[in-house]
C-alpha cells in the first residue's frame, strides 16, 4: 500500500510546464467566475491553437488527480468537499426572467454559499431568486437562485440583471451591436428588446438549484 501511495503522489507531481500553466489558469478562472473554463477558453488564454491538444492536457490533469468534471463543468479536484467553507450572501428577493417588473422584492434574508463559488469576489456577491422561464436555454429555470457580482458594467454576451429607465428589473443576456444595446432572453418564446438607458446591477456568476 505504501508503494502504491508513493506512485500516486509521484504521478501527481509530474506536471509539464504546459500542464502547470493550464492548472494555474483553471484555478484562477474558477476563483474569478465560480465555474470552470471551456477547452476553447483555455486554448485562447494559453495560445494553444488545437482544441484537441488542450483536451489532452486537461485529460492528463484529470488522470493525475488535479482536475475533475462535474456535469461537464471543469473543477479543481476535491472542490467542493464535505468540509468546504461556506459564506453567507444577501438574498435580495426575486427578479423576473420574463417580462421586466418593478424593482426587487427585497427579502432581508441570506443564503449560505460554498466559498469556491465566490472565490475572490467575497463581499461583492448577492443572490436573487428567479421567476419565469425566459432564460431556460441558459439552464436558469423558474425558482433557481442566481449568484451575481455587483458591477455597473458588463461585456456583450454576459448574463446580467438590468435596471431599466422605468425602474423595472430583468435578468437577460446583454448584447451590444452597432451602437445598440439589446437584452436577449434565452428562450425562443420571448423576444429580445432594445433599451436606450440601461443600468447594470450585477453579472451572473453562478446558479444554485435543488432537485
User: Is 28 known to be catalytic?
Assistant: no
Residue 134 annotated as catalytic: yes
94, 129, 133, 172: which is the annotated catalytic residue? Answer: 172
Out of 94, 129, 133, 134, the active site residue is 134
Tell me the C-alpha distance between 135 and 209, whole Å. Answer: 14
Smallest CA-to-CA distance from 76 within 20, 147, 26, 136 is with: 26
Q: What is the DSSP string of 68-103?
A: EEETTEEEETT-S-TT--EEEEEEEEEEESSS-EES
CA distance 203 to 33: 10
* Cell reading at 25: 489558469
Cα–Cα distance list, 91 to 102, 130, 167 (Å): 17, 11, 20
Inter-axis angle of helices 39-46 and 51-63, nearest 10: 110
Q: Could you count the other beta carbons within 10 Å of the beta carbon of residue 205?
A: 21
How many residues in total does the chain contain?
211
- Which residues participate in catalysis according to the annotation? 134, 172
Amino acid at each position: 500500500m505504501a508503494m502504491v501511495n508513493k506512485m500516486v503522489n509521484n504521478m501527481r507531481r509530474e506536471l509539464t510546464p504546459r500542464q502547470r500553466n493550464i492548472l494555474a489558469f483553471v484555478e484562477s478562472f474558477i476563483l474569478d467566475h465560480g465555474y470552470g473554463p471551456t477547452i476553447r477558453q483555455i486554448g485562447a488564454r494559453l495560445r494553444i491553437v488545437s482544441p484537441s491538444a488542450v483536451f489532452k492536457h486537461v485529460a492528463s490533469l484529470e488522470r493525475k488527480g488535479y482536475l475533475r468534471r462535474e456535469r461537464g463543468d471543469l473543477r479543481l479536484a476535491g472542490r467542493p468537499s464535505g468540509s468546504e467553507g461556506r459564506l453567507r450572501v444577501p438574498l435580495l428577493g426575486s427578479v423576473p426572467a420574463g417580462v421586466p417588473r418593478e424593482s426587487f422584492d427585497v427579502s432581508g434574508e441570506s443564503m449560505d454559499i460554498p466559498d469556491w463559488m465566490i472565490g475572490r469576489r467575497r463581499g461583492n456577491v448577492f443572490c436573487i431568486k428567479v421567476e419565469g422561464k425566459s432564460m431556460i436555454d441558459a439552464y436558469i429555470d423558474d425558482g433557481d437562485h442566481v449568484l451575481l457580482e455587483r458591477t455597473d458594467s458588463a461585456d456583450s454576451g454576459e448574463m446580467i440583471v438590468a435596471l431599466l429607465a422605468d425602474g423595472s428589473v430583468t435578468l437577460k443576456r446583454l448584447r451590444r451591436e452597432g451602437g445598440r444595446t439589446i437584452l436577449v432572453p434565452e428562450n425562443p418564446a420571448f423576444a429580445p428588446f432594445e433599451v436606450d438607458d440601461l443600468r447594470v446591477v450585477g453579472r451572473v456568476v453562478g446558479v444554485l438549484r435543488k432537485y
